[in-house]
Amino acid sequence: MKPANPQSPVDLYFMDARSKLIDIAAFMDRVERDQATDDFRYQAFLKALKELENSDRATAVLRSLSDPTSELIPAATTKAACGAPPPADS
């Protein structure tokens, strides 16, 4: 599916992406200032950032932040998801 009158994606989305990139930079500075870099979610975030160096980035980032296992868990002890797979011993 393609538009009849395609617009430049850079024209449309550069400013939005620029803003989000600065937000990410500020988030990382904030976590470092607060010495929270050991949090498993932040470590997963750093790992996912490396996926930006290749193609098909959105898929790769989402996969990087996904539970890599394939088996059902014995029981759900919470309803919530936290955005990154928790350490195996948690």
Partner 1 sequence: MRYIEPHAHMVSRTTDDYVAMVTAGCKAVCEPAFWAGFDRSSSKGFYDYFRQLTEYEPARAAKFHLPHFSWLCINPKESEDIALANEVIDLIPQFLDKPNVLGIGEIGLNKNSRNEMTILERHVDLAATHKQLILVHTPHLEDKLKGTRLIVDLIKSDSRIDPSRVLIDHVEEHTVKYVMDAGMWGGITLYPESKATAPRAIDILETYGADRLWMNSACDWGVSVPLAVPYAAMEMRRRGYDDDIIDQVFYRSPVAFLRQSPNFQIDQTKP
Q: Which residues bind partner 1 (CB under 8 A)?
A: 1-7, 12-13, 58-59, 62-63, 65-70, 72-85
- CA 36 from chain centre, in angstroms, equals 17
Q: CB count, 10 Å around CB of 70?
A: 5
Minimum Å gap between C-beta 41 and partner 1 is 10
Give me 9's structure tokens.
């994606």
Q: Which is nearer to partner 1, 37 or 59 (CB)?
A: 59
Q: Which is nearer to partner 1, 35 or 77 (CB)?
A: 77
Give the position of tokens 């990139």. 21
Minimum Å gap between C-beta 43 and partner 1 is 13
At 48, phi and psi to the nearest 5?
Answer: -65, -35
